[in-house]
Amino acid sequence: MQIVTSKDLLRGALSKYRGSHQTVVFVPTMGALHEGHRTLMAKARQIAGEDGVVVASIFVNPIQFDNPSDLSSYPRTMEQDLAICANEGVNYVFTPSAQDMYADQRSIIIDETSLSGKLCGASRPGHFAGVCTVVAKLFNLVQPTDAVFGKKDYQQLAIIRRMVRDLDFPIRIHGAEIVRHEDGLAYSSRNVRLSEENRAAAPVLYQTLLEAKQQFAEGKSLDEIKQIAESKIMDSGATKIDYLEIVNRETMQEPQSKEEPLLMALAVFYGDVRLIDNIEL
Ligand code: AMP
C-alpha cells in the first residue's frame, strides 16, 4: 500500500492508470475509520477484482463543517486508519493537507440546489456545497471508474449521484448498506465522543426506525409515525431532535403519497454529539 500525501504525488502515482482499462475504485473518507468504512473498502476491493486498484482518501474537509467546534473535535486516528486500509487491500491512500487541497483565494464551489434543501442540508448550511466541492475535486484527482458511498449518509449519496449525472463524471456510484453495532447503533466516527450514558441510550434510534417501518407497513399515517418516534427518542434522554422526517428517497422532498419510495431520516443530539440514521420504509 502506498501513502500519498499531496495532489502532485497522487497524480504521479496514478498516471499509469490513465487511459488503461483498469478498474479504479475510490472510497472517500474523513478518517477515524471503523467497521462502516471497512465494509466500504471491502466492497471496493470486490468491485475492483484482483487486478483492479482501490484508492481511499482520508481528509477532514474543513469547508463542509458548519460548526468550528465539530471540526476541531473531529477524531483523528491516522496510524490506526492506515493499518485498516492496508488490511482491506487498499492500494493507495491519499492524505492531503487542507493547504494543499485548497488554493488561497479559491472562488469556485459546486452546490446542489434541489436534493439538499431538507434534512442535513437545512440544518447545516453550506454543508453539501462543501461535500460536492471536495468530492468533485477528489474525482478529478483520482479519476476513478467507480466510487463507493455509504447509505448512512443517504442524502449525501443521492446528491453525489445527482452531481455525477448532471456534471457528466464518467464514474459509477455504488451505495453500501449501513453497518451497525450489535445493539443497532450505526457505526460513526462521532460515537467515541458519546458519554457512557448517552452511548447506552443511542441504540433507541435504530429501534425507533425499525418500529416506524413496522407501523408504516401496518398503515399508520406518516404524521402519527413521526410523533410516536419523536416521543420515544426524547424519552430515551436525547438532548434535542435536529430533524426527524419522512421524505421521498430519490428527491429528498416531502412525499405527496405513501406509494412513493420513502425514507425516514433523523439527526439527534445526545449531549453535543449529533448522530444521524435512516431507514427505507
Ligand atoms: P465519513 O468518514 O464519515 O465522511 O464517511 C465516509 C464514507 O463512509 C461515507 O460514504 C459514509 O456514508 C460511509 N459510512 C460512514 N459510516 C457508515 C456506516 N455505519 N455504514 C456504512 N457506511 C458508512
3-class DSSP state of 235: helix
Domain that holds residue 162: 2-176
> Would you say residue 142 lies in a domain?
yes
> Would you say residue 185 lies in a domain?
no
> Would you say residue 184 lies in a domain?
no
> Which residue, of 152, 176, 200, is where some domain finishes?
176
With a Cβ cut-off of 6 Å, ligand 1 is lined by 29-30, 36-37, 39-40, 149-150, 152-153, 176, 178-179, 186-189
> Would you say residue 22 lies in a domain?
yes
Query: Which of 152, 163, 183, 277 to mutate for ligand 1's pocket (most ligand atoms within 8 Å of CB)?
Result: 152
Closest-lying ligand 1 atom to the alpha carbon of residue 179: 20
Q: Please give the Cα distance from 222 to 226 (Å, whole number).
A: 6
Answer yes or no: do 30 and 164 share one domain.
Answer: yes
Domain total of the chain: 2
Answer yes or no: do 237 and 146 share one domain.
Answer: no
Answer yes or no: do 220 and 89 share one domain.
Answer: no
Query: Which of 85, 88, 153 to mutate for ligand 1's pocket (most ligand atoms within 8 Å of CB)?
Result: 153
CB 14 within 8 A of CB 92: yes
Answer yes or no: do 146 and 9 share one domain.
Answer: yes
Answer yes or no: do 84 and 201 share one domain.
Answer: no
CATH of the domain at 263: 3.30.1300.10
> Would you say residue 234 lies in a domain?
yes
Which residue CA neighbors atom 10 of ligand 1 most closely? 149
Residue segments in the chain with a per-residue pLDDT below the cut of 70: none
Closest-lying ligand 1 atom to the alpha carbon of residue 189: 3
Cell of 169: 463524471
CB 78 within 8 A of CB 58: yes
Residues annotated as part of the active site: 37
Predicted local distance difference test score (pLDDT) of residue 138:
98
Instruction: Encode pLDDT of 131-163 as tens digits.
Output: 999 999 999 999 999 999 999 999 999 999 999
Instruction: Encode pLDDT of 29-48 as tens digits.
Output: 999 999 999 999 999 999 99
